[in-house]
Chain A
C-alpha cells in the first residue's frame, strides 16, 4: 500500500471519530504549547542575557583585582580598595596592557561621594546610586539607550546616568530632553568639608539595573576627596603629613581588561595571575549563567514533557479503542490483501497524524500565547523603564523540533495498538461482532 494511501486512509479514519480525535489532538496541543512556550521563554531569556553581555563587552572582559580568588561576579563589586593585595597602580596598568591579546586596560574606581543631584527644577537623592569612574577608552561599554557613551573628552564633566535617575529629575516623558542638561552633584555630608558641589552634563542614558552614574576616571579622581595622612615621625618625632586620595594610596580597586579574542580569556587570566593579581573572565560568568539557563530549560521542558507524556497515553487510549472498534474492518482488509505490516503502518500513520496535528496546532497556539504574553510583558518592561522588547520569540527550529517530536511521540504511542491490530488473526477478526 502506498504511503499516500495510508495517509489518506488514516486521515479519513480519524475524521470518522471527530470528537475523540479532537480531544486527543487537544491533549497533544497542550503538551506542545507548554514545551514550546517554556523552551522559547528560556531560549529568549538566554539570548537576551547573552546579547546584553555582548553589548557591554563582558564576553571579552577580564577583571583584575588586587586580591586573588574572586569570582567574576564578586570582582565586579570591587570598586573600593583598602590596600590589601597587590597594588594596582599606573605601572601595573602599563604592564597589563603589554600582555599579548589585551586590547585595552581600564582602571576603575567607585565614586560614591555624592548624595543628591539637582536639575534646574528638581533635586533627587542619589545616595544609593552605584557610581563608577573609568577611562572612557571603550573597554567598559554600556548599553546606551539615549545620547552616547562616555568619551575621553568628557573629562570636563560628562556623565552617563541610568534612566530612573533621569526620570526622577523630571524627564519621564522626554528622555531625549535630558541629554545635554546640566546637573549639580552635591557631596555626602561626611565629605562636604573636603569637597564642593560639581556641575556635570548628562551625555547619555544607559540601560542599567537600579540607579547608576558613570563618569570618566580623571573626572572621578579630580572630584574625589583628598585625605590628610600622617606617617611615622621625623627626626624630631614630628609626623610627616601628606594629602592624598585613597585611590593614589591604595591603588585602583580594579582594572577591566578588554581582550581581543573571547576564546583566549583563560590564557589572559593566567597571565594576570602570573603578575600577582587576581583575575576573573566575564566568559566564566556567561558560561555559568548559560549553564543555569540550560538547566532551567531542561527542567521547564521536562515539565512540558510530562504534559506530552500524558498526551501520549491519550494517543495509546484512542488507538486501542480504534483497533477494538475496527477489528472487523481489519479482518476485511486482511482478507482483501493487507499484510500485517500494512495494518501496522496504517495505525502507526494514524497515530502519527494525531501527533503531527497536535504539534502543528500547538505551535500555532504557542505563537498566539507568545503574542499575548509579549503584549503584557512589554507593557511591564516599558513601565519598568526598559524599552519595548519581545521577551518570548519562538525560534523556527523549536517549532520544527516540537512538530517532529509530537509526530514521533504519536507514532511511538501508536506502535503498541498498531502491533495488536496487525497480529489479529484474520479469521477471528472477520467473525468479530
Chain B
C-alpha cells in the first residue's frame, strides 16, 4: 500500500483577479522509501503540491490519504499532529528561529508536540544533530553558522521526530554548488536509511539524483523515470 495516495487534487488561487490553477487534477502515489523530485517552473504548482502533501495546505477538492486519514478533510489538530509526527520540512531559506540555538531549533517539534522532559528532548536533539554531523554547533545561534550548516540544522529538526516523509522545498536554492551537494548527500543518506524524500527543485542536477522525477506545469503532472 502506498504511503501517500493523492487523487484528483484541485486547487485554484485568485491572483490579481485572475484564476491560477495550481493543482488541476493531480493524482500521485508515493511509496515508502521513494525519493521523488518535483520539478517545474515558477508558479507551476510544485510548492502547492508539496504543501498539500505536507498538510500545510488543503486542496479545494480531491483527496490525500495518509495512513487511512484524508488530509483534505482533516481538522487543524489532526493536520498539526501529522506535520509534527510524520513530516519533516526543509525550506530553501532554512526557516530557523534566529533567537534560538541550533539545539533549541532542532528540539522545537518535540516541545510543540509535548514530547518527554527536557533531558529526553536534549538527547533526541543531540542524536539528530549527530546524524548531520553538527553536535559541536549545538549551542550556536543560526547567525553563527554557515548556510550549509544552517540547512543541516534544519534537516536535523526535520528528523528529530523520526518522520516517515521529509519534504524539502528547494533545499539547495540558497547554497553554493559544493554546499548544496553536501546537503543533497545528507538527504540521500536519509533516504537510504528508509525515509521517504520529496524534493521540490528546478535544479536539474538535484532532480537527477531522484528515483522518480515528476514534472508539474500549469497544475498538471507528468512523470519521468529517475536517474537512480
A interface residue numbers (CB < 8 A to B): 1-2, 5, 9, 12, 16, 328-329, 331-342, 426-427, 430
A2, B77: Cβ atoms under 8 Å? no
Q: How far is the CB of B60 from chain A (nearest CB, A)?
A: 14
Report the 6 A-B pairs with minimum CB-CB distance, sorted nearest first.
A337-B84, A339-B80, A336-B109, A337-B112, A332-B95, A338-B112
Q: How far, in whole Å, are A427 and B47 apart by their CA atoms in the complex?
A: 10
Q: How far, in whole Å, are A1 and B51 apart by their CA atoms in the complex?
A: 23
B112, A426: Cβ atoms under 8 Å? no
The answer, among A2, A337, A338, for a CB contact under 8 Å with B85, is: A337
Q: Which residues from A are CB-within-8-Å of B77?
A: 339, 341
Q: How far is the CB of B104 from chain A (nearest CB, A)?
A: 10
- Kindly report which residue of chain A lies nearest to residue B54, judged by CB atoms: A335
B112, A329: Cβ atoms under 8 Å? no
B interface residue numbers (CB < 8 A to A): 51, 54, 56-57, 76-77, 80-81, 83-85, 89, 91, 95-97, 99, 108-109, 111-114, 157, 161
Q: How far is the CB of B14 from chain A (nearest CB, A)?
A: 14
Q: Which residues from A are CB-within-8-Å of B51?
A: 427
Given A328-B95, A332-B95, answer yes or no on A340-B108 (Cβ-Cβ < 8 Å). Answer: no
State the main secondary structure of chain A at its contact with B. Answer: helix
Q: How far is the CB of A255 from chain B (nearest CB, A)?
A: 75
A1, B112: Cβ atoms under 8 Å? yes
- Kindly report which residue of chain A lies nearest to residue B161, judged by CB atoms: A337
Q: Can you identify 13 A-B contacts, CB atoms within 8 angstroms?
A: A1-B114, A5-B114, A12-B99, A328-B95, A329-B97, A333-B112, A335-B83, A335-B89, A336-B112, A336-B157, A337-B113, A338-B112, A427-B56
Q: Which residues from A are CB-within-8-Å of B83?
A: 334-337
Q: Which residues from B are CB-within-8-Å of A332?
A: 95-97, 108
Q: Which residues from A are CB-within-8-Å of B113?
A: 1, 337
Q: How far is the CB of B150 from chain A (nearest CB, A)?
A: 13
The answer, among A2, A334, A339, for a CB contact under 8 Å with B56, is: A334
The answer, among A2, A9, A329, A340, for a CB contact under 8 Å with B76, is: A340
The CB with the most chain A CB atoms within 10 A, among B96, B113, B157, is that of B113
Q: How far is the CB of A395 from chain B (nearest CB, A)?
A: 40
- Kindly report which residue of chain B lies nearest to residue A16, judged by CB atoms: B99
Q: Which residues from A are CB-within-8-Å of B56?
A: 334-335, 426-427, 430
Q: How far, in whole Å, are A1 and B113 apart by their CA atoms in the complex?
A: 6
The answer, among B81, B97, B114, for a CB contact under 8 Å with A2, is: B114
Q: Which residues from B are CB-within-8-Å of A338?
A: 80, 84, 112
Q: Which residues from A are CB-within-8-Å of B57?
A: 426-427
Q: How far, in whole Å, are A283 and B152 apart by their CA atoms in the complex?
A: 79
Q: How far is the CB of A137 from chain B (nearest CB, A)?
A: 74
- Kindly report which residue of chain A lies nearest to residue B157, judged by CB atoms: A336
The CB with the most chain A CB atoms within 10 A, among B89, B91, B111, B113, is that of B111
